[in-house]
């Protein structure tokens, strides 16, 4: 390493880095596959000397003792922009709270709430090059904004991280301390789509023209869609999250980014989450541009794309067209992420469309996800006045600009056939659409 940039002068051990945390501190943490797992694992070992330390996290991938163990109560409190599988339980125990957000403003709104005061940022990066530059690699959603606000910046250097391009560079002089933790990257397994997901994928593919630009959200359905787009031509990618399916589309020749109206010739996104195949693809790839979430997800930027199609997933949709993707009744499940950002952006785009896809039933077919009214406690992620196109395995419901009678008919038509009559009866009984 070039001594001019003092890599070794900044290098400390992981316990030494965590020693720098004080009671009452706020720690902003890099998200998803960029999570600094060494620092987060170490935090629980410092419990006895720490009180009321707040971490700000988003879409955590691993289980950490400091967050998950009941004896951490009073020592650590987690503020979370997007829940992962472990977080639902911690939430119910009162040691974690959700931060409602639209992802392009997640960092700036949170900083606003604390008058810009963030004590520490923990992130991950590649080893520096001979000029002292590092790549923030797999995630740029909130990281640069948090880093700029923090009094102390500590990066975990991992030689397994890909060197990604775009706005990912950071110079070693901007960092206070470095630790090393060369762990394998977190991989989100690529699961083969179910029959239902395939059907939904086929319907959505019908709505996508050659030359369109795509955002695909998180979950099984968005990945399934890519399978049905392999024969499309000149698709572009402008997304919050890069996934494995996008690599398949690129390799099949369906994604060229040639007809994009902004960032022509480049796939644009804020973070990558998938398997090693995706991480290898984004490594040093001049055709892949990582930009900050405040840019990729800004609806006014998304909307500058030609024929922008945003596809996100939901848990429940009611007859008004209200979409809930983040809770099951009162139980907080995930988050909004960039759902409304990219949905609104797509609607601003000439020829664009905001698609919400969901299976028509849940709980092994016992309940309908198309409902007369959302379950009590549901947190709306797309309000009825912004809803556009809903897709299930039974078809497509176009709701944009439609009245309640039209919406009710279109939605019941894509509900499970066994449930259509009971939904209609309740919609009439409740007086939502008396003459349905």
Tell me which H or E stretch contains 295: helix 293-296
The interface with ligand COA within residues 250-309 (CB under 6 A) comprises: none
Six-digit token pair at 258? 């040639």
C-beta of 253: minimal distance to ligand COA in Å?
25
Residue (211 or 269) nearer to ligand COA, CB = 269
**Nearest CA to 59 among 241, 191, 283?**
241
- CA proximity to 19, closest of 183, 182, 180, 179: 179
Please identify which of the residues 35, 156, 240, 289 carries the catalytic annotation.
240
Residue 338 in the binding site for ligand COA (CB under 6 A): yes
326 binds ligand COA (CB under 6 A): yes
Q: At what angle do helices 220-227 and 244-251 cross, to 10 degrees?
A: 10
Q: Is 313 in the site for ligand COA (CB under 6 A)?
A: yes
Among 128, 219, 236, 303, binds ligand COA (CB under 6 A): 219
What are the backbone angles phi and psi of residue 68, rounded to the nearest 5°?
-95, -25
**b/e burial code for range 240-254 (CB count within 10 A of at least 16 → b):** bbbbbbbbbbbeeeb
Residue given tokens 């897709």 in the structure block: 391
Q: Which stretch binds ligand COA (CB under 6 A): 68-76, 112-120, 215-223, 400-408?
A: 215-223
- Options 43-51, 251-259, 288-296, 323-331: segment touching ligand COA (CB under 6 A): 323-331
Q: With respect to ligand COA, which residue has the nearer C-beta, 274 or 338? A: 338
Annotation says 240 is catalytic: yes
Q: Which of 124, 369, 389, 392 binds ligand COA (CB under 6 A)?
A: 369
DSSP three-state, residue 400: coil
Give me the 147-186 binding string for ligand COA, x by CB under 6 A, dash otherwise. Answer: ----------------------------------------
Gap between the Cα atoms of 216 and 325, Å rounded? 15
Tokens of 21: 């945390």
Binding residues for ligand COA (CB under 6 A): 217-221, 240-241, 312-316, 325-326, 328, 333-339, 359, 362-363, 367, 369
Catalytic residue set: 240
């Amino acid at each position: 390493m070039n001594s001019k940039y003092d890599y070794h002068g900044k290098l400390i051990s992981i316990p030494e880095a965590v020693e720098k945390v004080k009671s009452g501190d706020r720690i902003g943490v890099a998200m998803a596959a960029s999570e600094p797992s060494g620092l987060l694992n170490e935090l629980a070992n410092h419990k006895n000397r720490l009180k009321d330390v707040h971490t700000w996290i988003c879409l955590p991938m691993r289980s950490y003792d400091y967050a998950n163990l009941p004896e951490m109560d009073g020592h650590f409190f987690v503020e979370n922009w997007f829940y992962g599988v472990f977080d639902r339980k911690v939430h119910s125990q009162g040691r974690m709270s959700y931060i409602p957000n639209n992802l392009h403003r997640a960092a700036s709104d949170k900083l606003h709430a604390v008058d810009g005061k963030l004590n520490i940022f923990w992130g991950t990066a590649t080893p520096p090059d001979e000029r002292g530059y590092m790549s923030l690699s797999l995630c740029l959603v909130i990281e640069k904004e948090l880093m700029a606000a923090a009094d102390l910046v500590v990066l975990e250097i991992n030689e397994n991280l890909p060197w990604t391009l775009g706005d990912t560079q950071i110079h070693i002089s901007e960092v206070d301390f470095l630790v090393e933790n060369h762990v394998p990257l977190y991989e989100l397994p690529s699961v083969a789509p179910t029959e239902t997901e395939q059907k939904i994928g086929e319907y959505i593919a019908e709505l996508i023209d050659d030359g369109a630009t795509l955002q695909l959200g998180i979950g099984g359905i968005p990945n399934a869609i890519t399978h049905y787009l392999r024969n499309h031509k000149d698709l572009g990618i402008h997304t919050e999250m890069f996934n494995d399916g996008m690599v398949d589309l690129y390799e099949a020749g369906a994604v060229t980014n040639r007809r994009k109206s902004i960032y022509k010739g480049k796939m644009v996104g804020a973070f990558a989450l998938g398997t090693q195949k995706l991480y290898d693809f984004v490594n040093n790839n001049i055709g892949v541009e990582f930009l900050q979430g405040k840019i990729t997800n800004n609806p006014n930027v998304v909307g500058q794309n030609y024929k922008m199609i945003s596809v996100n997933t939901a848990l429940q949709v009611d007859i008004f067209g209200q979409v809930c993707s983040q809770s099951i009744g009162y139980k907080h499940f995930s988050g909004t992420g960039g759902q409304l950002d990219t949905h609104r952006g797509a609607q601003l785009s000439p020829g664009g469309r905001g698609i919400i896809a969901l299976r028509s039933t849940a709980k092994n077919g016992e309940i309908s996800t198309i409902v007369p009214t959302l379950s009590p406690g549901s947190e709306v992620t797309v309000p009825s006045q912004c809803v556009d196109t809903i897709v299930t395995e039974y078809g497509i419901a176009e709701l944009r600009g439609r009245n309640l009678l039209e919406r009710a008919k279109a939605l019941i038509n894509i509900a499970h056939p066994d449930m259509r009559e009971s939904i209609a009866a309740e919609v009439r009984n409740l007086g939502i659409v008396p003459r349905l």
